[in-house]
Structure 1
Amino acid sequence: MCGRFDQSQTARYYASVFGWPDAVFDSEASPAWNVAPGSYRPLMHVQDGEHRIDDVFWSYRARWAEGKVPIVVNARIDKLTNRYWKPLLKSGRAIVPAEGWYEWTGEKGAKQPWHIHRKDRAPLFLLALANFGGFTENRAEAGFVLVTDDAQDGMLDIHDRRPVVLEAADAQLWLDPARSPEEALDLARRAALPPAAFEWYKVSTAVNRAGNQDPQMAVPLLD
């Protein structure tokens, strides 16, 4: 899974490196080194032909599922064609730009956070699904989730799941509304960056507290 991520650049920076100089912004979110569920973060998506970056709530539960399923922050890639997720796979595809994400090892009470990022330190384009409509009772009705897949190789030492990350060009194809849900899912599976593209290091346990924000949180922990 992915329960925190590092989005420590501005939305305009991410739009620039993504190749969206014409993006329409509705984002007031500040850069954050320790993004936790329940916060509003910039998402990239295409709406009515416009390249948009909007702040969306990280957590999701469909309106009709109140009392039936829990609020979640991730969606498994192998479940995206079921009744729950397919409507968002069709019309709610999005990208979360980030510098990295966090996972933990160790026992409860002594959890060690790790910062996972590209070896070349380029921005990550994380696959997401979102409901960009409004909500009536719960903010999670109009929220987003990150798409995850099984971890492989050395990543299994940190966690058994990981976000699906694409190169910018493939991420733009994922966002294309003309692409069918089946084509988008096939792209996600074929083009996902492999574990060899990433590296990770230990960081301060200050990350363990959701409200903490500091640039030092993403810096390698000295042994």
Structure 2
Amino acid sequence: MPGRLFLTSEMAALGAVLGQDMGDLDAQVPRQNIAPGEQIVTLTSEGFQQMRWGIIPVGRVNARGRPVMETLINARSETVFAKTAFAGVGRAVVPANGWYEWTGEKRRKTAWRIRPSDAVFLWFAAITDVWKAPGGLHVAQVATVTCPPNADVAPIHHRMGVLLEQGDIPFWLEGNEQEVTSLMTPWPEGRLVIEEATGVDWEGA
């Protein structure tokens, strides 16, 4: 499952792929290491925008009725449309050039960079919501959807993000829940390149 992303392409190139104007996002600097809790480029049916990576589930409150601050960066495809915590969420797509996973013991972990072998971008299926924080602040938030791994990813992680074909993006964004269930499957084997990641600042990883 994606725990860190990278989006190193220029925003103009991303917009050109889908024929969309990136607006203010066009000035965004390419990023080698995108961590949960940060703002990420997200596509909805209304276009591209920035959202915080991590959802504070709808309706989660503690015994005193205060909002639970725990955030979820990923949602399991098997339960995303069934859990009450995700009731009423919208759908989005998170574009990236790839993501990172780690193997090994703490302090001796190996970082792996995973990218497409046949394209520039990967399109992660995601859910989105607006969190109403104390004080009236509204925060647009997003979480990627995960599924079991394909044979390429299985040796390094037990989950992977649901990846969409570019042509299926409108279907994911606007189809009903039953229709889009067919998209939440492991990515076909042989279409990802997995290589050891070096030269990246992993502070906070």
The answer to whether the 8 A contact 1:8-1:31 is kept is yes
Instruction: Tell me: CA distance 1:24–1:11, structure 2 relative to 1, closer, same or farther (3 Å).
Output: closer
Aligned counterpart for 1:64 among listed residues 59, 62, 66? 59
Q: Distance in 2 between matches of 1:144 and 1:128?
A: 7
Write out aligned runs for 1:162-201 (5 A): 162-176=160-174, 179-189=175-185, 193-201=187-195
Identity %: 25
Q: Distance in 1 between matches of 2:19 and 2:197?
A: 32
Classify the secondary structure of the residue corresponding to 2:71: coil
Q: Distance in 2 between matches of 1:29 and 1:66?
A: 35
Write out aligned runs for 1:133-172 (5 A): 133=130, 135-137=132-134, 142-172=140-170
Report the equivalent of 1:12: 12
1:141 to partner: Cα distance:
5.7
Q: Distance in 2 between matches of 1:25 and 1:127?
A: 22
Q: Distance in 2 between matches of 1:198 and 1:140?
A: 37
Report the equivalent of 2:196: 202
1:84 to partner: Cα distance:
2.1
* Count of residues paired in the alignment: 197
Classify the secondary structure of the residue corresponding to 2:200: helix
Q: Structure 1: which 4+ aligned runs deviate by more than 6 Å?
A: none
Q: What is the identity, as a one-letter code, of the residue corresponding to 1:105? A: T
Q: What is the identity, as a one-letter code, of the residue corresponding to 1:15? A: G
Q: Which has the higher helix share?
A: 1
1:2 to partner: Cα distance:
1.4
Report the equivalent of 2:65: none
Instruction: Tell me: CA distance 1:44–1:180, structure 2 relative to 1, closer, same or farther (3 Å).
Output: same
CA RMSD of aligned residues (A): 2.4
Q: Distance in 2 between matches of 1:152 and 1:119?
A: 15
TM-score, normalising length: structure 1: 0.78
The answer to whether the 8 A contact 1:128-1:146 is kept is yes
The answer to whether the 8 A contact 1:113-1:205 is kept is no
In structure 2, runs of 5+ residues without a counterpart are 63-67
The answer to whether the 8 A contact 2:52-2:139 is kept is no
Write out aligned runs for 1:87-98 (5 A): 87-88=88-89, 92-98=90-96
Classify the secondary structure of the residue corresponding to 2:170: helix
1:9 to partner: Cα distance:
1.6
The answer to whether the 8 A contact 1:104-1:158 is kept is yes
